Chains A and B, each alone.
Chain A
Amino acid sequence: MKLYRLLIEALESLNANKMRSILTVLGIVIGVAAVIAMLSIGRGAQATITSQIESMGTNLIYVSPGSTSVSGVQSAAGTAGTLTLDDADVLAELDQVVAVASVTNNFVQVVYQGQNTRTRLMGITPGYETVSSLTLADGEFISESDQNARSLVVVLGSGVAEDLFGSTSGVVGQKVRLNGQVYKVIGVLESKGGNSFMNQDDQVLIPLSTALYRLVGGARFRGSSVISQITIKAENAKVVDQVAENATLLMRERHETVEGADDFTVTSQQDTLDAATAVSDTLTLFLGGIAGISLAVGGIGIMNIMLTTVTERTHEIGLRKAVGARRQDILLQFLVESMVLSFLGGLIGVAIGWGISRLMGQIEFSGSTITPVVGLDSVLLATIFSMAIGLFFGIYPATRAARLQPVVALRYE
C-alpha cells in the first residue's frame, strides 16, 4: 500500500479512538518536553557558569600553598604556610605577567557607629585592582605607598558600604573599625553583581603589609607571615599554559621540591573552567537521562495501546489478509500508526519543552538568571528519538498483527 494511504488510514484509526490516542501521545509529549527542557536548562547553566568564570578573566593563574602533612597525615590543600611575599616578587618578574599576592582572612567584624557587619577581608598588593578587574565607584585604590607604610586604610566592597552606610557615595574619608582597629575608607568598589562562588561585593580590601603585620587577629597574631595566594595575570589567554608552566618550575626551584611532592599548587582559570564544564556536562547528562526514562515510559504506553489495538482489530486484520494484504502490509499499517503517535508526541513535546525552557529563563536563581539554550541538535535528537521509540515499541504489536493467520483472525469476534 502506498505510504500516504497508510498515513491516512493511521490518522483515521487514531481519530476513531480520540481519547486513547491523546493519552498515549501525552506520554511521549511529557517525555520529549522533559528531555528538551532539561538539556536546554543544563546547557544554559553551563553557559552562565562559563561566562561568569570568563568575566573574571581567563588569563588568571593561581598559586596556592600545598597541604600540611603532620606525621604523615595530609590536611586540606592551602593549609600549609609555604607561600611568601618573596615568592610573589619573584613570580612578578616572569615574562608577560602581572603578579600580586594576597592574604585572605574570613570573617572580620566591620563597625561604623551603630552599624556592623561580618565580611571577608583581603590583604592585597596594589596590582590586585588590575588582576581582578576591579573598578572603583568612589575614591582611590590601595597604593604602593600604603603598602610600604602599612597604612590603616581600607577599600570597601559595595555591599559592605551599603550595609554600613546605606549608600556607596559619601563614604570615602569615613572611619570604620576592623576587629576594633580604626581604618580610614579610601575607596568603594563598583558592584559586580552576584557571583555564585565569590561575591566580590561582600569584602573589604586592605594593604597586604597591614594585613600581615598590623591587623588585629591577622597573620602576625597567628605567628606567621605567610600569604594565602599569589594571583598571576598572563598577558593574554594564549600564553596562560606557558606562564603556568614557568611559574611551576620557578616555584619548584625556589622551594626545592620535585614533581609530585610540591608544597604549592598552580591552577589556571582554564582549569577551573574545565572543571566547571565537566560538572555541568555531567549534570546535563544526568537530567537528560532522567527525562529519557520518562520518554521510554511513554514508549511503553504506545506499545500497550498498540497491543490493545491489534487485539481489537483482529477481525479487521483477518479481513485485510483475506482480500490480499501480505504480512508486510499489516506490519507497516501498525508501525505507521505507532510512529504517527510518537511523532505527534515528539512535535508537541518539542514545542512544550521549548516553552518550559523559556519560562525557566525568566526565573532567577540566587540572583542570576540562566538563559536556556534549545539547540537544533536537541530538537532533532528528541524528534528522531521519539520516532525511534514509536518504531521500537511498535514492532512487537505490529509483528503480532502481521503473523495472525487469516482463518483464525476472521473467526475472532
Chain B
Amino acid sequence: MEMIEVRELTKIYRLGSVEVPALQGVSFHINPSEVVAIMGQSGSGKSTLMNILGCLDLPTSGEYYLEGKNIAGLSDDELALIRNRKIGFIFQQFNLLPRISVRRNAELPLMYNGNKSQKEIEQRAEYILEAVGLADRMNHKPTELSGGQQQRVAIARALINEPALILADEPTGNLDSHTGADIINLLLKLNQDHGLTLIIVTHDASIAAQTQWVIHLRDGQIEDGSAHIIAHV
C-alpha cells in the first residue's frame, strides 16, 4: 500500500469574487520510507500541497489517501486525530511555545493522545530528546537555545508520537548552511534507521539532491520532465 496517494488534487481559494487556483490537478503517490522533496517558486502551490498532505486543510476536489484512508469528508476532530497519530510537522519558524520548557514542548503531541500515563510521557520525551542530542537542555526554555537546537526540539516533537510521515516545511530556511546540513542529516538518518516517510519542502537544490525524487511545482501543476514522477505515476 502506498503511504500517500493523491489524484487530481485541486485547491481553489476565493478572494471575494475572484477564484485563485492554487493547485490544479496534481497526482502522484509516495511509497513508505521514501524521501521526497517538493520544490517550486513561491506561489507555485507547494505550501497548499503541504497543508493538504498534512491534513491541515482539505482539497477543493480530488482524492487524497493516507495509508489507504480517504481523507475527504473527515471532520475537524478526525483530521486532528490523524495529525496527532500519523504525521509529524517540522516548520521553518520552529513554532515552539516560548513559555514552556523544551521537554514540555516535545511532549505536546502526547498531551492530545489521551491514553498515555504521565510516566510514559516523561520517559518518551527524555528518550526522544536524547536521540536528537538535547539531553542536557530539557529544562531550558526554547528561547535559551540556538536555532539549530530549537529545530531539534521541533524534530523531537514531530517524532514523539511515532508517526509514519514527517512533513518538513523549509526546515533549514532559518538556519545557517552548516546547521541546516546537520538538521537534514538528522532527518535522513531517521529515515534510514526507522523507515520514516519524509517529505521536505525546500528551495535548496542541494537538499533536493539528497532525496530520492523531487516534485517540481509550477502554477499549481507538476512540471513536466521529472523522470521520478513519471516512474511513479
Contacts and interface: CB of A to CB of B under 8 A. Distances in A.
Interface of A: 1-2, 5, 9, 12-13, 16, 315-316, 319-329, 405-407, 410
Contacts of A407: 51, 56-57
A410 to B, nearest CB: 7
A327 B76 contact: yes
A324 B97 contact: no
B230 to A, nearest CB: 31
B95 A315 contact: yes
Interface stretch (B2-10, B83-91, B142-150): B83-91
B216 interface: no
A324 B54 contact: no
Nearest to B81: A324
A328 B80 CA distance: 11
B99 A16 contact: yes
B77 A322 contact: no
11 contacts: A1-B111, A2-B118, A316-B97, A320-B112, A321-B56, A321-B83, A324-B81, A324-B85, A326-B80, A406-B56, A410-B91
Interface string B67-81: 000000000110011
Contacts of B113: 324
Interface residues on B, range: 20 to 34
Interface of B: 51, 54, 56-57, 76-77, 80-81, 83-85, 89, 91, 95, 97, 99-100, 108-109, 111-114, 118, 157, 161
Given A322-B83, A323-B157, A324-B85, A329 B95 contact: no
Given A16-B99, A316-B97, A410-B95, A323 B56 contact: no
B97 A322 contact: no
A326 B113 CA distance: 10
B112 A323 contact: yes
B80 A319 contact: no
A325 B76 CA distance: 10
A271 B108 CA distance: 67
A38 to B, nearest CB: 39
B54 A326 contact: no
Contacts of B97: 316, 319
B80 A410 contact: no
B164 to A, nearest CB: 14
A324 B112 contact: yes
A13 B97 CA distance: 11
A324 B100 contact: no
B45 to A, nearest CB: 14
Given A315-B95, A323-B84, A324-B112, 15 more contacts: A1-B111, A1-B112, A12-B99, A12-B100, A321-B80, A321-B83, A322-B83, A323-B108, A323-B112, A324-B109, A324-B113, A326-B76, A326-B77, A329-B112, A407-B56
A317 B80 CA distance: 13
Contacts of B161: 324
B83 A323 contact: yes
A322 B76 contact: no
A321 B76 CA distance: 10
A326 B81 contact: yes
B21 to A, nearest CB: 17
B84 A324 contact: yes
